[in-house]
Amino acid sequence: MAMTGLPAGRLLPGKQMRTGKQVRPGERLRTGERLRTGERLRAVANWANLSTPAGLVLARITGCRVRRGAGGLRYALGYRPPLPAAGAFTVGNVVFFRPALARPESHPVLLAHEGRHCTQYALCLGLPFLPLYFAAAGWSWLRTGDPASRNVFERAAGLEAGGYAERPPRPLAALWRSRRPGPPDHPKRPERSQRPLG
């Protein structure tokens, strides 16, 4: 699940939208606009690869209210389960929002970020995106102590747009040395008289 670290209700204003114009705080996306060719292809691909139907099933199971959104997205509003803890996350073309983000159109930068994750689902042929995303999150956590900073999917979707701060990578050699438990690499062999018999 593509997740955003954006706490509920927080948005980073002043980002560029797909139209190239500057987005002002409080500016909204129109949900009635025609889909672009890429958005239409993404929507069809995510239906065909079953990630959008899986997202709709998850929305139904978790009691979310689903409605149409901008760019061919579906908004699942009122997601309450504890995991994932993010303010928003994506499954196919379904974007889940916590109750504090009940008006997604008032968060255009976050919507653009989640829309990029929807495209990633299409490019990864649907649900294979999930293990790839979690592997990338694990790599990022190993390198930075944060699941997003070196996660290729979050970087491509825009770290800052998702509410993440970039953390510097840790040296792998130091990390490896600090994690190895126990005695030195080669334990001392017992002397001949101390070896067990037989």
Question: What 3 state SS string does 120-160 have?
Answer: HHHHCCCCCHHHHHHHHHHHHHHHHCCCCCCCHHHHHHCCH
Please say whether the beta carbons of 100 and 129 come within 8 A: no
End-to-end CA distance of the chain: 57
pLDDT tens string 79-125: 999 999 889 999 999 999 999 999 999 999 999 999 999 999 999 99
DSSP classification of residue 196: P
Contacts 24+ apart (CB under 8 A), 149-158: 153/2, 153/117, 153/120, 153/129, 154/2, 156/116, 156/120, 157/2, 157/113, 157/114, 157/116, 157/117, 157/120, 158/15, 158/112, 158/113, 158/116
With 60 as the cut, is the pLDDT of residue 30 above it? no
Of 151, 168, 170, 171, nearest to 5 by C-alpha is 151
Q: In what order do the strands lie in the sheet with 65-68?
A: 2-4, 88-91, 94-97, 74-77, 65-68
Reported as a pLDDT band with limits 50, 70 and 90, residue 170 is confident
What's the rounded Cα separation, in Å, for the pair 124 and 105?
27
List Cβ neighbours of 160 (8 Å cut-off, separation of 6 or more).
12, 15, 166
Task: Name which of 37-41, 169-173, 184-188 the model is least confident about.
Answer: 184-188
In terms of pTM, does the model score above 0.75? Answer: no
- Going by their DSSP bridges, the two strands 74-77 and 88-91 should be labelled as unpaired
Q: How far does Cα 167 stand from its chain's mean position? A: 16
Please write the tens of the pLDDT for every residue from 124-145.
999 999 999 999 999 999 999 9
Higher pLDDT, 151 or 5: 151
Residue 33 has pLDDT above 60, yes or no: yes
Domain boundaries, the chain: 2-173
The reported pLDDT for the residue numbered 85 is: 86
